Amino acid sequence: MSHVIALVDDDRNILTSVSIALQAEGFLTRVYTDGLTALRAFTENPPDLGVFDIKMPQMDGMELLRRVREMGGPVGTMPVIFLTSKDDEVDEALGLAMGADDYISKPFSQRLLIARIRALLRRQDLARGNGNGADSVNEAEPPLIERGRLVMDPARHKVLWDERDVTLTVTEFLILEALAQRPGVVKSRNQLLDVAYQDDVYVDDRTIDSHIKRIRRKFRSADPQFDAIETLYGVGYRFGEE
């Protein structure tokens, strides 16, 4: 089944050219010229991945991402790639801090965009236990990760804390999984970057700090006393041993 990609950009030329390129690669596309229209459509027909421009009328990409992440379910956790202005580091930092999974600066190579889309969808399929190919049928599901009050089900991309659901994006899930696999062991920012991003994605190591803040915020919605992710200043992060 083909993945559905939502393209949100007020530049119709970009929408047309990228849509044609993605369809030639076997993807289904839906195009929107503003964030508000896209958000309304997502509630009825959630896409598998979104590509959002940041600067748009009515509702910009930042606000669209914020609203998407608040929705929960398939929409709330779908991978999102931001299209940013060239060399605009502020846009990139804000986008990643708000929960974007990747960013590409304009003008961009369509080949690069397609490669990034494939990489994120591959990660999402694996995280949700939807691996494709004949071999995946015979592969055993990855085991549950149970650490005190935390339960992670990698095959279903499901997280529980005190039996309460906690909705994480693919990137957030991968970071938490890396920490929870070895409680008490410190992971540096660079080690967590290696887990969370593809080799050809270059982001500042402080991006991990933003993701950790978002993970903590989500867990504290379920448990205001959540403190299982510990910061070792100047070193990195670890999942506390109980």
What residue spans define the domains of the chain? 4-128, 145-239
The tokens describing 82, both together, are 């931001």
Residue length of the chain:
242
User: What pLDDT sits at residue 201?
Assistant: 53
User: What pLDDT sits at residue 155?
Assistant: 75
User: What pLDDT sits at residue 76?
Assistant: 87
CATH number of 4-128: 3.40.50.2300
Q: How far apart are CA 47 and CA 26, in angstroms?
A: 15
User: What pLDDT sits at residue 98?
Assistant: 72
Q: How far apart are CA 152 and CA 159, in angstroms?
A: 5
**Dihedral, CA of residue 41, residue 167, residue 67 and residue 122, to nearest 10:** -60
Which has the closest alpha carbon to 107: 14, 21, 9?
14
- Predicted confidence (pLDDT) per residue in 195-228, tens digit: 876 555 555 557 788 889 889 988 999 999 999 9
Residues 6+ apart with CB under 8 A from 68: 39, 42, 50, 75, 76, 78, 80
Which amino acid is it at 45? N
- Predicted confidence (pLDDT) per residue in 170-191, tens digit: 788 889 999 999 999 999 988 8
Residues of the chain with pLDDT under 50: 132-138
Which has the closest alpha carbon to 117: 130, 107, 104?
104
Q: How far apart are CA 192 and CA 194, in angstroms?
A: 5
Beta strands at 236-239 and 102-105: parallel, antiparallel or unpaired? unpaired
Q: Which CATH architecture does the domain made up of 145-239 adopt? A: Orthogonal Bundle (1.10)
